[in-house]
Amino acid sequence: MCGIVGAVASRDITPVLLDGLRRLEYRGYDSAGLAVVNQDDEIDARRAVGRVAALEEIVNGVNGHLGIAHTRWATHGRPAEHNAHPQLSSTDVAVVHNGIIENHQELREQQLAAGYTFTSETDTEVIVHQIDSHMKAGADLLSAVQKTVDELKGAYGLGVISRHAPNTLVAARRGSPLLIGLGEAENFVASDMSALIPVARKYMVLEDGDIACVKQDSVQIFDQNHKPIERKVLVSTLSDAETELEGYAHFMKKEIHEQTRAITETLEGRLGANTVLEIPLGKNAKEIFDATKEIKIVACGTSYNAACVARYWFEEFGVRCDVEIASEYRYRKHVVNPGTLFVTISQSGETLDTMAALDMAKGLGYTNTLCVCNAPESSLVRASDLTIFTHAGREIGVASTKAFTTQLVTLMLLALCLRRRALGLDYDGDEVEHEIVQELRSLPNQIEHALSLEDEIIAMSKHFADKHHSLFLGRGMHFPIAVEGALKLKEISYIHAEAYAAGELKHGPLALVDKDMPVVAVAPNDELLEKLKSNLEEVRARGGQLFVFADAHSGIVSDNDTMVLNVAPVNNHIAPIIYTIPLQLLSYHVALIKGTDIDKPRNLAKSVTVE
């Protein structure tokens, strides 16, 4: 999704801007651009469709001490050079913008009447003209931005420069993350601290409504009432180590294989001999768990799928649990029972729909808010009463892999803590908890075993590469695992993949089954295995091709119509985590054969910061 970098320094900042854009590439984008104020106090801007590499080819000779840069993920106006940012108002002002301006049409009409001409279809262009009009009426850059944001409806993170203020970078934020990086006699602006890893460790997070006036040796911040305000200086812990491919062809493959280590880190320090420890989950964790009678989970995409698996655990453990997609949750009325914990799940901690749902939930009477998150320096973490970190390490591939399995592990820890309260157990838990804790400890080994199936999965993937549609089946807590498997396949191989609870097959989707529709099934050895086998017979009877990830003792065997991949027996509670791995590998290898852009699939973004 869109990314912003800005810099003001005594050195030439073009290389800093380009490096920052490269570091934001993982968020997903379709065009890129930058603008600097050069030594003649003129704005020099370049924009290119496609990768940052395309921009690099056209920035020769672009030098300056002040500049802004952007990666754009199209919302208003197709990906095209004229729609890329920075957007300019004549040669005077340049703006980069993340977010969506809702009243852009109204402003556009006023500006057309005032004689402005438009060169793009973006909602952003009205911002730059509005700032320009205030400057033409006598305002300095900072006041012009202050006046402009008061006239905007919608969400924005902004970086603004003007040739009339050659030492000043103005940044503004409402609903779209933005932070100020503090260097040595140079300062920066970015939508994500990872853009600034080589140039700044210290940073300040802008809050909604803040506007910052950033110069080489000073940063002044003003709140939504335009009153000066101090924001805390934080120290970033991000490093470059996780942004290297380390010999892997793709980040997705690397991240799939990192799951052994990632899950070890999720569990690190959180397990006693037989139980889940609560203190390492957060200093207010016990108090929040004590106050919790039921939970509501809200999330998007893969994180939502993790919530759907966890619901089975919570309810089996006696804790009422409701799960909802964030973009739906935020647009309906709610009845909140006393003692309900509002839980968000997000890899990035920046997903706008999830963040907006949390903002809304805060006024609805939930007892507390908890976030399951992978990004320590993110908006959701800052806004939640308690965060349980997944410790997956940075995930670069757009398709979530290790983020998902570590979310599942974290949710199991939470479920076991709430189980004690629901069942009135003491801190030593009970046999069920003891058994699950031992299973959690064995997860890294079991994941290694699942990863060792890769060669067989490569053979299986060849059957999918020429297909246009596929069905994924599962039952019980493996239905959301089938949904996640289908999401992975469609996301990176562009094959249409639909997931069904296997019992639903006969209520409609069976009509689709023929030899051209591969049917993938997840078949652990649980209480629903026999039911699932009957569902698979329904597929076989209609000439369907089955690809089954089955427990080695399931009794499901390969034949002409069925390809079975045996998964080592695993405890039912943690089986969803293990069965995820072969599905991830399957989608990876299908995409590899199809030659798609695996780490940056078309039309998608890593961090979805627009509605």
Binding-site ranges for ligand M6R (CB under 6 A)? 300-303, 346-348, 351, 354, 398-400, 487, 491, 608
Provide, rounded to whole angstroms, the least separation between the CB of residue 115 and ligand M6R.
42
Pick 303 or 493: Cβ nearer ligand M6R? 303
Pick 83 or 400: Cβ nearer ligand M6R? 400
Q: What is the distance between the alpha carbons of residues 493 and 444, in angstroms, rounded to a whole number?
A: 28
Map residue 181 onto helix, strand or coil: strand
Pick 319 or 396: Cβ nearer ligand M6R? 396
241 forms beta bridges with: none
**Residue 53, C-beta contacts closer than 8 angstroms, at least 6 positions apart:** none
Pick 68 or 343: Cβ nearer ligand M6R? 343
Pick 486 or 548: Cβ nearer ligand M6R? 486
Q: How far out from the chain centre does Cα 111 lie?
A: 36
Provide, rounded to whole angstroms, the least separation between the CB of residue 353 and ligand M6R.
8
Provide, rounded to whole angstroms, the least separation between the CB of residue 358 and ligand M6R.
11
Full strand arrangement of the beta sheet holding 320-325: 320-325, 294-299, 340-346, 368-373, 386-389
Pick 64 or 301: Cβ nearer ligand M6R? 301
Note whether 583 and 488 are within 8 A (CB): yes
Q: What is the distance between the alpha carbons of residues 552 and 149, in angstroms, rounded to a whole number?
A: 61
Pick 166 or 582: Cβ nearer ligand M6R? 582
Provide, rounded to whole angstroms, the least separation between the CB of residue 100 and ligand M6R.
17
Half-sphere exposure of 242 (CA within 13 A, CB side): 19
Provide, rounded to whole angstroms, the least separation between the CB of residue 93 and ligand M6R.
33
Map residue 170 onto helix, strand or coil: strand
Provide, rounded to whole angstroms, the least separation between the CB of residue 346 and ligand M6R.
3
**DSSP per position, 421-476:** HHHT--TT--HHHHHHHHHHHHHHHHHHHHHTTHHHHHHHHTTTTT-SEEEEEE-G
Map residue 132 onto helix, strand or coil: helix
**Residue 582, C-beta contacts closer than 8 angstroms, at least 6 positions apart:** 450, 453, 457, 549, 565, 567
Pick 89 or 347: Cβ nearer ligand M6R? 347
Pick 111 or 400: Cβ nearer ligand M6R? 400
Map residue 532 onto helix, strand or coil: helix
Provide, rounded to whole angstroms, the least separation between the CB of residue 348 and ligand M6R.
3
Q: What is the distance between the alpha carbons of residues 544 and 502, in angstroms, rounded to a whole number?
A: 14
Provide, rounded to whole angstroms, the least separation between the CB of residue 394 and ligand M6R.
12
**Residue 51, C-beta contacts closer than 8 angstroms, at least 6 positions apart:** 25, 32
606 labelled catalytic: yes
Q: What is the distance between the alpha carbons of residues 586 and 3, in angstroms, rounded to a whole number?
A: 31
Provide, rounded to whole angstroms, the least separation between the CB of residue 373 and ligand M6R.
8
Write b or e for each residue in 165-179: b if 16 or more Cβ atoms lie within 10 A of its Cβ, otherwise e: bbebbbbbbbbbbbb
Q: What is the CA radius of gyration of the chain?
A: 26
**DSSP per position, 56-68:** HTT-TT---SEEE
Pick 271 or 325: Cβ nearer ligand M6R? 325
Q: What is the distance between the alpha carbons of residues 215 and 6, in angstroms, rounded to a whole number?
A: 11
Residue 175 is given by DSSP the state B
Q: What is the distance between the alpha carbons of residues 555 and 551, in angstroms, rounded to a whole number?
A: 8
For 1, 22, 79, 159, 236, the CA distances from 48, given in Å and listed in that order, are: 16, 14, 10, 19, 31
Provide, rounded to whole angstroms, the least separation between the CB of residue 321 and ligand M6R.
19
Selecting among 253, 296, 402, 606, the annotated active-site residue is 606
Amino acid at 448: E
373 forms beta bridges with: 346, 389
Selecting among 2, 300, 308, 373, the annotated active-site residue is 2
The reply to whether omega before 86 is within 30° of 0 (cis) is yes
Active site residues per annotation = 2, 606
